[in-house]
């Protein structure tokens, strides 16, 4: 196996390739569409393994709320198919390709699940992990195995789907996947508050999220960022989305507006503006321009959002916005500080009780600064043992998540 | 059900073990007296009983860690236990092991309304979490029927569901963080008040691990605002097929109800005789559909579901107009288990999930099996997510009948797998379905799962004999087999 990409046509061929790799001790760089290669550490593998042929929807049963497809099925194909039946992947899968200068619309199902992505609806509908029901895969021992099932409710055996979601192709090679699909909401509405400080926005979002109005997404865009996401915004914008049947949304818009009164007068975005804004937020579009600027993605307790972002940008300079009611912070640093400012970012995140991922940085930086926080030594050691349980020789995506793993 | 043979050497060292445990957990925390131990001889799967060497009831995480270290050192098996309401024998004692009960972990540690979560100890009951936050309008969404008794630690270990989980998710979707202790006595924390830590999702794998990976000592869950309004429809159908079609039609219309429960004729009859909820008796199936949320939404959806039900040929359509009526609709369903308990000396509750569209076929074949085994069966069904609870009626005092009931249950679960479903939707594998795992998974599937177990518990001392039909030593599982002969590059040197 030289530098030529290996492109197995099916699971059997893939298994043979892995068995050969075992015999030759060849490491493999695993790719679907390759849109997120900039996420994680650079992989130094003996050969690229291109899984893009393991594609195609196998079964789609709208009334059972499940879809089974080849792992490398383009996500766009799945989204189109389920939209015809009024359904969607409720975790609002974002497309990170433009963050790395790539074209949107090419990513695969396995790609979004193996990185456990989620859009703004994470707080009400979960992440990719919550919608991943079952799979077939090849492990690093050259064995085909399956886990989970093809029904929405299942506790038979360990929930290996959870481990595979967010494993960045380092545990096993997914060949076929079953995911949950859900009905598209009949309609949506977004209320926008203007010109709130970060702290005031955190309070407004906490009030909204803590209400019974079933807010499906809550984001705050400081001045300077807001204009690129919300059409004609005037200064900072705080967005709250309601989804559901028309009469319900209308009633909740009024209720939420009244609740938010103490924070200011809420404007209602037009439906197309609302859709565009949330798409832009999920994809972190404000940060798709200066590709050499390091980009961080933080997850913290929602009320800690404002203070965490301030602590980081006070020292390093940069711009940011909040999703998930304040709990997710997208933060782009100005210029290219040494080590992508990791020490400061991680200290601030740890203080808040959260974690930070370096989503974008130069290859050199990603090699030296851990994009994923290895966490406490005990947990890291356990994670390494889990990895060895799937891929004992370390063949798949060596070093993608952690150095030497 | 065969458990691994007890290790006589371990059994012989009981006195020494008890003494060591008493050092670690002073006071009344170690129970070794046979009569007192008997309280712990089974869980909700009462057909199986065993006496452990001792029961240990630590009070804090440090004591849990100390107990586990001692057990590891002495090679003693450990069975974690919450309230013992599990229905698959997950907390069934092991004769050469100890029960590690979390019953004293009863504190609610933190209520954080602004971040919409609470941090609790594992022995807190499911309902107590809701009770601690409901003054502010909040609740904890997953609601197993056993919620007054079962603990949140047990819920996490079983990944428990409830009537409302189609809309609100099961335990794993509502969990933010855990503290747990490994068999080494190492205390690990995952997650917190934030979502989706990076790294392997150890929170996800711990959930539903049935006490085989670690002992949970602290749990952070999300809490939600209680929906302001709930209304229910009671629908009757002249065939279970029509009922199933109605469920499919509701979902196809884009409606995800808060709850959607079905009962078949025998279950309707048993509950009606018991609680007189006013269910129609001339139908083959009833469906209870609950819509919850803001008032405007509930009113709107009730109308839509009503129209769908009429289109599907419902022969009975009632819509609750008061809270009292809604609760009456539920009264029968909620009393289904005790109602069946009344008409039969014993029953076992099965828990398979099927693709919903296969329901009519599964019910027909279940009726055939019922005739074949000469045992009655009543069905309650979490219809929205296809989770079937057949209750098999039998008399344990009639020799051979328990075995017959179990064989019947096994056939039902095999049928679930055959039609594309799974062995268990929410009750877990435990010992009950352990030996059926092979119908759903092959050797390689099961070995891969056991390698995860090895990463957490290489000695295999945490709850062995549960979940996996065959115990493999971790060293054996870790060996690499090179698939010689099939290799294109077999001349290359091996490692
Ligand atoms: C009448 C009745 C109705 C029920 N209804 C439902 C229902 O609607 N939905 C549903 O999902 N289940 C239901 N159950 C099953 C049962 O209540 C759940 O599985 C529950 O989560 C068990 O909790 P427990 O505290 O009783 O755990 P136990 O029975 O004590 O233990 C269950 C398993 O968890 C492990 N465990 C317990 N605590 C810990 C811990 N702290 N750390 C590690 N492992 C631990 C045990 O080893 C065991 O394997 C019902 C049971 C009954 C009796």
The residue whose two tokens read 């807190």 is: B124
Question: For residues B212, B216, A300 and B222, what is the CA-based torsion angle, rounded to 10 degrees?
Answer: 100
Domain coordinates in residue numbering, chain A:
1-184+374-405, 187-282, 285-368
* Ligand 1 geometric centre to CA of B401 (Å): 26
Ligand 1 pocket test, candidate residues B87, B99, B174, B206, most atoms within 8 A of CB: B87
At residue B138, the 3 state secondary structure works out as: strand
Interface of B with A in 162-181 (CB under 8 A): 165-166, 169-170, 172-173
Neighbours of B475 (CB within 10 A): 9
Kindly list the residues from chain B whose CB atom is less than 8 angstroms away from the CB atom of residue A181: none
Residues of chain A with pLDDT under 70: 1-4
- How far is B331 from chain A, CA to nearest CA, in Å? 24
* Ligand 1 geometric centre to CA of B183 (Å): 21
Cα–Cα dist A393/B10, whole Å: 36
Cα–Cα dist A299/A322, whole Å: 10
Interface of B with A in 245-284 (CB under 8 A): 248, 251-252, 254-256
Ligand 1 pocket test, candidate residues B152, B158, B463, B464, most atoms within 8 A of CB: B158
- Give the best residue of A142, A153, A308 to mutate against chain B (max B CB count within 10 A): A153
Residue B42 Cβ < 6 Å to ligand 1: no
- CA-based nearest residue in chain A for residue B490: A23
- How far is B35 from chain A, CA to nearest CA, in Å? 34
CB contact under 8 A, A153 and B382: yes
Residue B96 Cβ < 6 Å to ligand 1: no
A232-273: pLDDT as tens digits: 788 999 999 999 999 999 999 999 999 999 999 999 999 899
* Ligand 1 geometric centre to CA of B83 (Å): 7
Residue B312 Cβ < 6 Å to ligand 1: no
CA dihedral for B139, B143, B146, B152, sign (positive or negative): negative
Kindly list the residues from chain A whose CB atom is less than 8 angstroms away from the CB atom of residue B488: 16, 20
Cα–Cα dist B36/B60, whole Å: 22
The residue whose two tokens read 């008032």 is: B295
Residue B145 Cβ < 6 Å to ligand 1: yes
Q: What is the model's pLDDT at position A3?
A: 46
Kindly list the residues from chain A whose CB atom is less than 8 angstroms away from the CB atom of residue B387: 153
Q: Helical H runs in B312-442?
A: 323-334, 336-343, 359-373, 401-418, 437-440
Residue B89 Cβ < 6 Å to ligand 1: no
- How far is A211 from chain B, CA to nearest CA, in Å? 6
Both tokens of B479, joined, read 């060996």
CB contact under 8 A, B294 and A213: yes
Give me the residue from A22, A247, A386 closest to B300, CB to CB: A247
Q: What is the model's pLDDT at position A4?
A: 58
Cα–Cα dist B89/B45, whole Å: 5
- How far is B208 from chain A, CA to nearest CA, in Å? 6
Kindly list the residues from chain A whose CB atom is less than 8 angstroms away from the CB atom of residue B299: 247
User: Is residue B157 less than 8 Å (CB to CB) from chain A?
Assistant: no
Domain A285-368 in the same topology as domain A187-282:
yes
* Ligand 1 geometric centre to CA of A288 (Å): 47
How many contacts, defined by CB atoms under 8 Å, are there between A and B?
293
Angle, CA A258 vertex, CA A256 and CA A259 arms, to 5°: 65
Phi/psi class of residue B76: alpha, beta or left (left: φ > 0; alpha: ψ in -120 to 50)? Answer: beta
Options 3.30.70.260, 3.30.930.10, 3.80.30.20, 3.30.465.10; which CATH number does A1-184+374-405 get?
Answer: 3.30.465.10
Kindly list the residues from chain A whose CB atom is less than 8 angstroms away from the CB atom of residue B492: 23-24
Options 3.30.70.1450, 3.30.70.370, 3.30.70.2190, 3.40.190.290; which CATH number does A187-282 get?
Answer: 3.30.70.2190
Q: What is the model's pLDDT at position A133?
A: 98
**Exposure b/e, B122-136, CB count within 10 A at least 16 = b:** bbbbbbbbbebbeee
CB contact under 8 A, B297 and A247: yes
Cα–Cα dist B373/A224, whole Å: 73
Angle, CA B276 vertex, CA B270 and CA B278 arms, to 5°: 105
The residue whose two tokens read 């039998």 is: B394
CB contact under 8 A, A324 and B195: yes
Options 3.30.390, 3.30.70, 3.40.190, 2.40.128; which CATH number does A285-368 get?
Answer: 3.30.70
Interface of A with B in 47-76 (CB under 8 A): 61-66
Residue B122 Cβ < 6 Å to ligand 1: yes
Using alpha carbons, select from A93, A150, A132 the residue that is nearest to residue B205: A132
Cα–Cα dist B177/B98, whole Å: 27
* Ligand 1 geometric centre to CA of B462 (Å): 17
Residue B460 Cβ < 6 Å to ligand 1: no
For the CA of B85, the nearest atom of ligand 1:
26
CB contact under 8 A, A145 and B444: yes
The residue count for chain A: 405
- CA-based nearest residue in chain B for residue A244: B297
3-state SS string for B313-332: CCCEEEECCCHHHHHHHHHH
Q: Are strands B97-101 and B54-56 parallel, antiparallel or unpaired?
A: parallel
Query: Over chain B (495 residues), what is each successive 10-residue block's mean pLDDT?
Result: 88 96 95 95 94 98 98 98 97 98 98 98 98 98 95 98 93 98 97 93 98 98 97 96 93 95 96 95 97 96 98 96 96 92 93 93 94 96 94 95 96 97 98 97 98 97 96 91 52 32
Give me the residue from A16, A211, A379 closest to B202, CB to CB: A379
Residue B463 Cβ < 6 Å to ligand 1: yes
Contact B312, B233 (CB under 8 A): no
For the CA of B147, the nearest atom of ligand 1:
17
* Ligand 1 geometric centre to CA of B4 (Å): 23
Interface of A with B in 349-378 (CB under 8 A): 352-355, 357, 372-376, 378
Tell me the pTM.
0.97
For A274, counting Cβ atoms within 10 Å of its Cβ (0-12 exposed, 13-18 middle, 19+ buried), the class is buried
Both tokens of A268, joined, read 């209602």
């Amino acid at each position: 196996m030289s530098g030529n990409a290996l492109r197995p046509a099916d699971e059997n061929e893939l298994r043979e390739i892995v068995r050969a790799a075992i015999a030759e001790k060849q490491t493999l760089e695993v790719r679907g569409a390759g849109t997120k290669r900039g996420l994680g550490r650079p992989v130094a593998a003996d050969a690229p393994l291109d899984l893009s042929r393991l594609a195609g929807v196998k079964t789609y049963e709208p009334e059972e709320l499940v879809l089974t497809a080849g792992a490398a099925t383009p996500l766009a194909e799945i989204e189109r198919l389920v939209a015809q039946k009024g359904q969607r992947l409720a975790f609002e899968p974002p497309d990170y390709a433009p963050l790395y200068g790539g074209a949107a619309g090419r990513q695969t199902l396995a790609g979004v699940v193996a990185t456990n992505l989620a859009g703004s609806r994470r707080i009400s509908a979960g992440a990719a992990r919550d919608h991943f029901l079952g799979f077939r895969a090849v492990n690093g021992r050259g064995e085909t195995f399956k886990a989970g099932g093809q029904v929405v409710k299942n506790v038979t055996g360990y929930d290996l789907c959870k481990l595979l979601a967010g494993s960045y192709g380092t545990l096993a090679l997914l060949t076929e996947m079953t995911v949950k699909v859900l009905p598209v909401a009949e309609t949506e509405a977004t209320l926008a508050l203007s010109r709130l400080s970060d702290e005031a926005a955190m309070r407004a979002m906490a009030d909204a999220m803590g209400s019974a109005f079933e807010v499906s997404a809550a984001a705050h865009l400081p001045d300077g960022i807001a204009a690129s996401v919300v059409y004609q915004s005037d200064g900072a914008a705080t967005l709250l989305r309601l989804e559901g049947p028309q009469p319900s949304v209308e009633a909740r818009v009024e209720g939420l507006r009244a609740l938010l009164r103490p924070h200011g007068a809420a404007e209602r975005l037009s439906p197309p503006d609302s859709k565009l804004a949330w798409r832009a937020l999920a994809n972190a579009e404000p940060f798709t321009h200066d590709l050499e600027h390091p980009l961080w993605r933080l997850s913290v307790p929602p009320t800690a959002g404002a203070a965490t972002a301030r602590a980081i940008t006070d020292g390093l300079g940069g711009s940011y916005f909040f999703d998930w009611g304040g709990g997710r912070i997208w933060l782009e640093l100005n210029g290219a500080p040494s080590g992508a400012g990791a020490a400061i970012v991680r200290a601030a995140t740890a203080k808040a009780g959260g974690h930070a991922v370096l989503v974008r940085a130069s290859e050199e930086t990603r090699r030296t600064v851990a994009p994923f926080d290895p966490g406490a030594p005990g947990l890291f050691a356990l994670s390494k043992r889990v990895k060895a349980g799937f891929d004992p020789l370390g063949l798949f995506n060596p070093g993608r998540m952690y150095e030497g793993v | 059900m065969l458990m691994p043979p007890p290790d006589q050497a371990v059994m012989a060292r009981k006195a020494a073990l008890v003494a060591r445990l008493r050092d670690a957990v002073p006071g009344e925390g170690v129970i070794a007296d046979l009569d007192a131990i008997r309280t712990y001889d089974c869980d909700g799967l009462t057909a199986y009983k065993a006496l452990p060497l001792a029961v240990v009831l630590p009070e804090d995480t440090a004591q849990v860690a100390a107990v586990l270290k001692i057990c590891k050192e002495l090679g003693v098996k450990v069975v974690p236990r919450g309230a013992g309401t599990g229905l698959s024998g997950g907390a069934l004692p092991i004769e050469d092991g100890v029960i590690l009960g979390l019953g004293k972990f009863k504190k609610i540690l933190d209520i954080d309304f602004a971040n919409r979560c609470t941090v609790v100890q594992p022995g807190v009951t499911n309902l107590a979490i809701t009770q601690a936050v409901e003054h502010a309008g909040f609740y904890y969404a997953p609601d197993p029927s056993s919620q007054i008794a079962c603990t949140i630690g047990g819920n996490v270990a079983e990944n428990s569901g409830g009537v409302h989980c189609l809309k609100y998710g099961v335990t794993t979707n509502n969990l933010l963080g855990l503290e747990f202790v490994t068999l080494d006595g190492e205390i690990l924390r995952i997650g917190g008040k934030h979502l989706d830590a990076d790294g392997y999702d150890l929170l996800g794998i711990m959930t539903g691990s049935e006490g085989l990976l670690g002992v949970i000592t602290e749990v952070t869950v999300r809490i939600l605002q209680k929906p302001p309004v709930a209304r229910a429809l009671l629908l009757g159908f002249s065939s279970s097929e029509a009922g199933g079609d109605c469920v499919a039609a509701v979902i196809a219309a884009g409606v995800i109800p808060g709850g959607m429960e079905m009962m078949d004729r025998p279950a309707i009859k048993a509950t009606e005789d018991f609680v007189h909820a006013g269910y129609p008796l001339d139908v083959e199936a009833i469906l209870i559909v609950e819509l919850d949320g803001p008032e405007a939404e509930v009113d709107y959806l009730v109308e839509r579901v009503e129209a769908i039900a009429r289109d599907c040929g419902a022969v009975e359509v009632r819509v609750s107009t008061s809270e009292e009526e809604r609760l009456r609709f539920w009264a029968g369903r909620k009393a289904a288990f005790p109602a069946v308990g009344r008409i039969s000396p014993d029953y076992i509750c099965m828990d398979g999930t099927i693709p919903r569209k296969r329901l009519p076929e599964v019910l027909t074949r279940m009726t055939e099996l019922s005739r074949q085994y000469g045992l009655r069966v009543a069905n309650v069904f979490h219809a929205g997510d296809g989770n079937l609870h057949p209750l098999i009626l039998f008399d344990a005092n009639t020799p051979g009948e328990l075995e017959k009931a179990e064989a019947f249950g096994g056939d039902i679960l095999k049928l679930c797998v055959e039609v594309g479903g799974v062995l268990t939707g929410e009750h877990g594998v435990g010992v009950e379905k352990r030996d059926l795992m092979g119908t759903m998974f092959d050797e390689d599937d099961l070995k891969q799962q056991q390698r995860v177990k090895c990463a957490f518990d290489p000695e295999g001392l945490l709850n062995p004999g549960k979940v996996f039909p065959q115990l493999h030593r971790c060293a054996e599982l870790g060996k690499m087999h090179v698939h010689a002969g099939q290799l294109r590059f077999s001349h290359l040197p091996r490692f």
